[in-house]
Structure 1
Amino acid sequence: MYRNILVRTEDSVGRITLNRPERHNAFDDQTIAELSDALAAMEASAEVRVILIASAGQHFCAGADLKWMLRAAARGAEENLVDARKFATMLGCLARMPKPTVARVQGVAYGGGVGLVSACDIAVATADARFALTEVRLGLIPAVIGPHVVAAIGPRQARRYMLTAQPFSAAEAHRLGLVHELAVDIPALDGAVNGIVSALLANGPQAQAECKSLIAAVAGRPLDDPLIEDTARRIARIRATDEAREGMAAFLARRRPRWPAGD
């Protein structure tokens, strides 16, 4: 079905693999369209509980394909805006996905690759991975990925790395909060990813979606009376769901929960 990505669903995990290793898995319009389609299908699929973003070959993603960018630059402003909106919409779909998302990172993640990592809930990388926000070197700006990167590493660190375009190590990405866990090599990377996926699959899917909604609602807001009321209403509503009743009953009975399909 797809030319630039591979898609597989197995054991409740939807795996999307960037598959342009000869181009270091750089984005182009075709890749963006395919990612958008695959993400929408996985969001709608009852079979998929967790979405894993990975890549084939040596590198995770080298950012935007410059050949595509040059073609786009030769077109008019309106066509460029349409292209940019498609990329922004795809990243927004990933960031707002109600299901947990995990990035598996090796090699380089530059430009849009950093945006892809930032838009995922959890990221794991090899210890020798490299990151960079290289747009200004090309006379460009990381506009579409900007909200996701700033949310991941904060405005102060974004200023440094967006303005200098300096590459940074996996250890620095971990310190900044862009990456949650480092692995010494590819087998260890897969082991770490599998461990995180297993932990995600053990939990209530409705509760996970509500957690993501909660985080989006409280991030950056002052602890005022409306926020307190909002959080109280959220937990009161969730307590009454079949999923919550099953989760608490399973814990008290010391058994694995049998998560209902939904309320």
Structure 2
Amino acid sequence: MSNPGTLNTTIAHYIAHITFGHPSGNSFPSSLLLELSETLHQLSENNLVRVIVLQSEGIGPFCAGASFDELLAVSDLLKGTHFFSGFANVLNAMRKCKKIIIGRAQGKVVGGGVGLLSACDVVYATSDAAVKLSEIAIGIGPFVIEPAVSRKIGKTAMSDLALHPQTWKTASWALEKGLYNAVFDSAESMDLALANYTQTLAQSNPEALENFKKILWEGTEDWDSVLYERASISGKLVLSDFTKNALASFKK
């Protein structure tokens, strides 16, 4: 049985910390995506929470994207669509969440991880947090996360990222394009700034934060259908011989 990964949530002083982890670069199997979606929905309705910090375990990658093991195991369109719908569920949960979500990226970010950070309202990162969209190289594409990434950094920067699937873009590039709000030389300096920021934000009027969150996400209502249509495209492409061979090669 494959490792399902872990997800833990702590709440203190109106700040919730969601910490996800997986031994394969903090990647996401479908079960972990489901747990994250459910957690976000629960925290959205929790009056003891005003701010959410989304972070991953360890000092390595922030997120390596989708689980390669599960991608390789997809055997039909229904299963493929279901898997990619997991990312659609998370992105929709993030945009609908009534709380401000702050991403904390301590290391490299690939694929779906870029989508997660794009759906955060604020992102703090270290200089190690380079980004890459490798999907085209394995025969699929960043279809589900594209609306989130394009919303954050624009179509031009998004296409630059997606059409250079083997090229890492630096944290400075991500800061310049608007994916990151602040970049720090170390995790220690990032965490100090993040603690100060979240503590200040958590003292704000929760009704004001909730209403501002709605304004931030105006115009994304079609994601309720678009993201699942995109999941179907990815679900079909992952069944191709090109993608199966590319995944197997990447895993080696």
Matched, 1:187 2:188: yes
TM-score (norm 1): 0.78
TM-aligned CA distance change 1:215 to 1:40, over 3 Å: closer
Could you say which residue in structure 2 is the equivalent of 1:93? 93
CA shift at 1:203, angstroms? 1.5
Q: Can you list the C-alpha shifts for 1:140-175, whole angstroms capped at 9, x where unaligned?
A: 110111110001100011111111122101111000
Match for residue 41 of structure 2? 40
Matches within 5 A, 1:1-263: 3-20=5-22, 22-57=23-58, 58-72=60-74, 75-165=75-165, 166-217=167-218
Equivalent pair of 1:4/1:30 in contact (CA under 8 Å): no
CA distance in 1 between partners of 2:191 and 2:217 (Å): 29
Per-residue deviation, 1:96? 2.4
Match of 2:225 in 1: none
Q: Which of structures 1 and 2 has the bigger CA Rg?
A: 1
Which amino acid counterpart does residue 199 of structure 2 have in structure 1?
S
Structure 1 runs (4+) greater than 6 angstroms displaced? none
2:223 maps to which residue? none
Question: Where do 5+ consecutive residues of structure 1 fail to align?
Answer: 220-263
User: Whole-Å Cα distance in 2 between the matches of residues 152 and 195 of structure 1?
Assistant: 24
CA offsets, 1:35-84, max 9 Å, x none?
01211111121111111101111221011111111112xx2112222222
Whole-angstrom distance in 2 between the partners of 1:26 and 1:208: 30
Within 2, Cα distance between the matches of 1:41 and 1:213?
A: 18
Q: Aligned-pair distance for 1:189?
A: 1.1
CA RMSD of aligned residues (A): 1.6
C-alpha separation in 2, matches of 1:194 and 1:76: 45
The number of aligned residues is 215
Amino acid at match of 1:60: F
Deviations 1:81-116 (A, max 9, x none): 222223201111112212100000011111011001
Q: Which has the higher contact order (CA 8 A, sep 6+)?
A: 2
Which residue identity does 2:27 align to in structure 1? A
What is residue 243 of structure 1 aligned with on the other side?
A: none
TM-score (norm 2): 0.81
Partners of 2:82 and 2:219 in 1: CA distance: 32
Q: Which residue of 2 aligns with 1:260?
A: none
Secondary structure in 1 aligned to 2:53? strand
The residue aligned with 1:222 is: none
- Percent identity over the alignment is 29
Q: Aligned to 1:23, what secondary structure does the other structure show?
A: coil
Write the letter of the residue equivalent to 2:125. A
